[in-house]
Chain A
């Protein structure tokens, strides 16, 4: 197990490295001059030169890549200057010739627009996305498995047919349509009953009381975001359960005289869970960056809106940073899922 995790982390490292290189090369293949984008209106020669040096644009391409990697790496080598110290905010480890080896937070460079560190931008906004995605998946998984289970156990009944039809609608409804409808219906027309707002972020800066948590604001966006995964998870669970229920070992369990609950929940469900976990993990990882519509309509502060804004403004450091962050989430989620597989199914050897 430990060996497996170590090996997967090493693989993951190479995956991330690959992503960095691809993203970096894309950055260079795209049209547009980063320097003029950063300088905006002021385009005097001096400030152009400064920016160009800071991005290392004078250097040849392989050197630029090395500089970029050095910036991202937690362990890195720099000239020990006050300027650099301010830029990277590092902790000195030891000296090598004129340079120092330092330990620091990954430096993803700064936003073209706000000049804020990209890692800070991501950390600020990832929080909201984590809450939203987590809540949505929790909701989707719980009800998806529950409905799938019921649907499989009462296959062919009215209830089963209704659930299957509803889930098909759930899968096919585009999230922006669902988001608008749900926001209007529950946040506006039914506001008196639900008491839920149409819009709002998780954290709010109140001028008098400071930063405040609004869990209420989470409900509608999480529900909207959860509809599609819920529908797929429900269908996955249903199919997997139907398959498992026809297996010989279920007949054995019946022949032992076990009751319905033990047969269905203990013997059948556990065998049916693997495909469900696959789909949960895929959804969870893709939600890290793919919740733009929901965030936009509910004015939720999250990674999705940051990404779209960055793409619109060709804010390359932010795009690159978010891409790396999403890749990292995918790698980690996949490792966790593989471990989960082996816990649920002993035949999976790590």
Chain B
């Protein structure tokens, strides 16, 4: 009896045979199907899967935050070993009991810190509120003192003033630190982090991951870390759960999963993430590892690749091939020249509307883009990359400077010529959900630019072109009459790409075009972009905050920081010999997911435990 209880005490959370269904307008959807897993005390478990795989549903069902009228738990139990209540089934607790656990013994950090804090209360107050709720006999002053200590612990700067700041007054990374402080406020036994770094810059992600790591060692908290990107958790998780279509397909410790993945889906996930250490010709995608039918069931074993290593070896671009590519590019003519570009926005005005000070998103920028190349533009949010893309598109007039497209200054040409030029210069936006008009069918969306620019004789001809374009981007031509909401994120991005291509542009700016997508979908879209580039002889400027994506897709990379160019050069050179400290930091912050790093991280954790 006694042995069993100690055995049980090893675990903080046990999920047994959990099945959850959603009853929506379109019928019943099984979000979780017989999911079982366990989390040990002090352990960090990574829960990985793409959107719709059920990872967030699992987390929300633990917190009992699923929409009550829609979600139904059919069977299963979630056993939580509560420090105060003992062993309880979370699904059977009454509202009062679960409220006491939430934010107290079980805390949660959400994906988007921008929207997860209430905009009308100060940051400090929101944390104080949690403390006052869960700790009895504590005065407001004591709670405030505790909050300031927490702020110190999550390494926020200027803690006194941030306490009084409203969420919109601080940066995204700082907001996420507030969320973490809030989650830690009442010493939780279990911390659920739902994609806590997905919305953040790489360097910020890196520091947040380090912080979580430290806090976990410091306080011996169990963490359930949810992400769509395996490499993010490689250095902080002890074990990994991979979810696919509502089922757990892989459950093992971190080393085994990375070194020897069993399920084809895991293999695909591991392989499809762009790598910084070598250049691949084509990114492997999930479908190279498993062939599925419409419902996502595995159909056959006849797959292209059997292992991650094989997938990489067959796509590896040799140094000789790279050299040839570089030499080829150096011979090309310039398609775009940007000279001494400066942009200033008025920031503060005096009483009579005269400008007192400026924000300067772009300061004295000069660079060239050669025909047929992909120039990767990388930098953290606020570095001026999106502003730059707007200027090149002619959507924003710069204060100074010249932009020459094929030798013509686009800032001074006549509006009529500019209209023609817009055909040649196009953009693919970040968020496919909001860049397609929900009231227009796919066909209308793709056809509209052609109608404006008088491409094609009549609508019938244009429609044929639309079908052709849809097939080019890998969609069924029959999707013509459907509306955007019927598609997934990846498909919508393909539709945006088809719309862009409808004008047969020469030059495309991809503004964070894959950032909103899952890693597995991202790989497909990146491959598509590369294929289209070959087919139509396109030139890209590819903007991203993700250095590994940039490394895969670009020939040359331009690193921007605070409106200036830090460094520009071929991807290999930048990666292997970064000249600037800033570039080095960026590269170091990328989660790599290599076995070497995992081993180091595991060793470090073990050492830490022994010392204690």
List residues of chain A with CB under 8 Å of any chain B CB.
3, 7, 156, 247-249, 251-259, 262, 267, 270-271, 344-347
Q: Are B116 and A251 in contact (CB under 8 A)?
A: yes
What are 25 A-B contacts with C-beta separation under 8 Å?
Answer: A3-B351, A156-B69, A248-B112, A248-B115, A248-B116, A249-B116, A249-B119, A251-B65, A252-B110, A252-B116, A252-B118, A254-B102, A255-B63, A255-B102, A255-B107, A256-B182, A257-B99, A257-B102, A257-B103, A257-B104, A257-B133, A267-B118, A270-B120, A346-B119, A346-B120
**Residue among A253, A256, A271 making CB contact with B119, cutoff 8 Å:** A271
Q: Are A347 and B119 in contact (CB under 8 A)?
A: yes
**Residue among B65, B99, B104, B168 making CB contact with A347, cutoff 8 Å:** B168
Interface of A is mostly: helix
Contacts of B375 in A (CB 8 A): none
Q: Are A249 and B101 in contact (CB under 8 A)?
A: no
**Residue among A249, A254, A256, A259 making CB contact with B115, cutoff 8 Å:** A249
**Residue among A3, A255, A262, A347 making CB contact with B166, cutoff 8 Å:** A347
List residues of chain B with CB under 8 Å of any chain A CB.
63, 65, 69, 99-104, 107-108, 110, 112, 115-121, 129-130, 133-134, 166, 168, 179, 182, 351
Q: How far is the CA of A10 from the CA of B120 in the complex (A)?
A: 29
Q: Are A257 and B101 in contact (CB under 8 A)?
A: yes
Q: How far is the CA of A144 from the CA of B583 in the complex (A)?
A: 57
Q: Are A259 and B120 in contact (CB under 8 A)?
A: no
Q: Are B120 and A271 in contact (CB under 8 A)?
A: yes
Contacts of A253 in B (CB 8 A): 118
**Most-contacted residue by chain B among A257, A262, A270, A345 (CB, 10 A):** A257
Closest to A250 in B: B118
Q: Are B133 and A271 in contact (CB under 8 A)?
A: no
Told that A248-B115, A249-B115, A257-B130 touch, could you supply 15 new A-B pairs with CB distance under 8 A?
Answer: A156-B69, A248-B110, A251-B65, A252-B110, A252-B179, A255-B63, A255-B108, A256-B182, A257-B100, A259-B99, A271-B119, A345-B120, A346-B168, A347-B166, A347-B168
Contacts of A247 in B (CB 8 A): 115
Closest to A10 in B: B351
8 smallest CB-CB distances across A and B, nearest first, come from A257-B103, A257-B102, A256-B103, A248-B115, A249-B118, A346-B166, A255-B108, A248-B116
Q: How far is the CA of A255 from the CA of B129 in the complex (A)?
A: 12
Q: Are B120 and A256 in contact (CB under 8 A)?
A: no
Q: Are B110 and A344 in contact (CB under 8 A)?
A: no
Q: How far is the CA of A84 from the CA of B176 in the complex (A)?
A: 71
Contacts of B99 in A (CB 8 A): 257-259
Q: Are B130 and A256 in contact (CB under 8 A)?
A: yes
Contacts of A271 in B (CB 8 A): 118-120
Q: Are A256 and B118 in contact (CB under 8 A)?
A: no
Q: Give chain B nearest CB distance to A12 CB in angstroms.
A: 16
Q: Give chain B nearest CB distance to A154 CB in angstroms.
A: 11
Q: A248-B116, A251-B65 are in contact. Are A256 and B133 (CB under 8 A)?
A: yes
Q: Give chain A nearest CB distance to B1 CB in angstroms.
A: 34
Contacts of B102 in A (CB 8 A): 254-257
Q: Are A255 and B103 in contact (CB under 8 A)?
A: yes
Q: Give chain B nearest CB distance to A293 CB in angstroms.
A: 39
Q: Are A345 and B119 in contact (CB under 8 A)?
A: yes
Q: Give chain B nearest CB distance to A158 CB in angstroms.
A: 15
Q: How far is the CA of A257 from the CA of B120 in the complex (A)?
A: 19
Contacts of B168 in A (CB 8 A): 346-347
Q: A256-B130, A257-B103, A257-B134 are in contact. Are A251 and B351 (CB under 8 A)?
A: no
Contacts of B108 in A (CB 8 A): 255
